[in-house]
Structure 1
Amino acid sequence: MSPESTGQNEHYLTVYRRGFRTWRGNRPFWAGLFTILGGLPIAYFPYANMHLGNMTIAMSTTAGAGSLIIGILLITLGFTMWFHHIVRVFAGVAAILLALISIPVANIGGFIIGFLFALLGGALSISWAPAEERSVPASEGPEAQVSRDGAPGTPERRQEPHDTAEAPRRPMLFETAAEADGGRHRAG
């Protein structure tokens, strides 16, 4: 074995874990998981029977079909967040609306458990944003890793000439009153 041959000695679980971590990082994973976990109790509780000794307690309501539809839609929205994350904002808004509708329809939103999970999943889906891809400019690639004397090593950093010793002022979209001095720099 040579040090250049990486990955051959890795355990298959490590490879799967890294692949899952990469997959999970490119989509609103936790939003989908919480939305799915919110849909399960909303769909389950209206059809569940609880046995206490010889007595059976049925939690079914007249709106059992509505609870089942809301639960299945929440589970579907959770999978949509995972596998079609382009529509994450729509799925998040729909999950929040279905969670709110589940309060009067589905046993107080699956006894508040399903309501809270679906609400959290919808909020996470709306707020999730994809990470910016890191791109290496062509001038900073491996070929540009040459120092001033021509030997490989640290790259040479180019300095931009400035009229003052201070760094140039970056334009900002919104400036606070302390920063909005009209381009004048204070001395001292």
Structure 2
Amino acid sequence: MSAETPAADGQFTRRRQQFRDWRGTRPFWAGLFVLLGGFPIMYFPYANLQFGNLTVAMSTTAGAGSLIIGVLLVVLGVSLWFQKHVRTFAGVAAILLALVSLPVSNFGGFVIGFLLSMIGGAMAVSWAPEKPRGEAPGSAVDDPNHLPGTNPATGANGRHSAG
């Protein structure tokens, strides 16, 4: 085997490349942030911390509301992965749920869940699908004055203009 011989792709390399390709076609990181933001919002209202012999119960009267907000954030995060066309709705809903979690759920999961959900929601709203590789920047597709069915090089009616 020489230095010029390409290495054979193993199963791990192929799967990693498939995951990378899949991840690049959707708001993956936005979904991950929203999903991870739901867990502290769900967990902290039901948690009991042990400090030696001292037990600190953080349960609140709004425990059910915290659970609902957390579950909805997890569902929105997963839907961002598998249904990328709902990205704007899911992003706005994640931002609103994160804001509602501040008064309902121990300051939004002690601000951890709040920040993760806000960042993920903002990333989801701002994500845009990649343009197809065949389109060159500055082509007729990007020109707002270009009318369909006309050739921008020859003129509006398709004939060369007589100079």
TM range (shorter): 0.7 to 0.9
Aligned partner of 1:131 in structure 2 is: 130
Instruction: Say if 2:32 is the partner of 1:49.
Output: no
What's the offset of the Cα at 1:172? 7.6
Q: Distance in 1 between matches of 2:68 and 2:102?
A: 14
Q: Distance in 2 between matches of 1:115 and 1:79?
A: 17
- Structure 2 residues without counterparts, runs of 5 or longer: 1-5, 136-142, 146-163
Q: Distance in 2 between matches of 1:71 and 1:114?
A: 9
Aligned partner of 1:35 in structure 2 is: 34
Aligned partner of 2:151 in structure 1 is: none
What's the offset of the Cα at 1:12? 1.1
Normalising by the residue count of structure 1, what TM-score does the alignment of the two structures yield? 0.68
What's the offset of the Cα at 1:31? 0.3
Which residue identity does 1:113 align to in structure 2?
I
RCO comparison, higher one (Cα < 8 Å, 6+): 2
Structure 1 moving runs of 4+ over 6 Å: none
Aligned partner of 1:89 in structure 2 is: 88
Q: Report how many residues are paired.
A: 136
Q: Distance in 2 between matches of 1:32 and 1:85?
A: 10
TM alignment of 1:111-130, pairs within 5 A: 111-130=110-129
Which residue identity does 1:10 align to in structure 2?
D
Aligned partner of 2:15 in structure 1 is: 16
Which residue identity does 2:15 align to in structure 1?
Y
Aligned partner of 1:75 in structure 2 is: 74
Q: Deviations over 1:139-174 (max 9, x none)?
A: xxxxxxxxxxxxxxxxxxxxxxxxxxxxxxxx788x
Q: Which has the larger radius of gyration?
A: 1
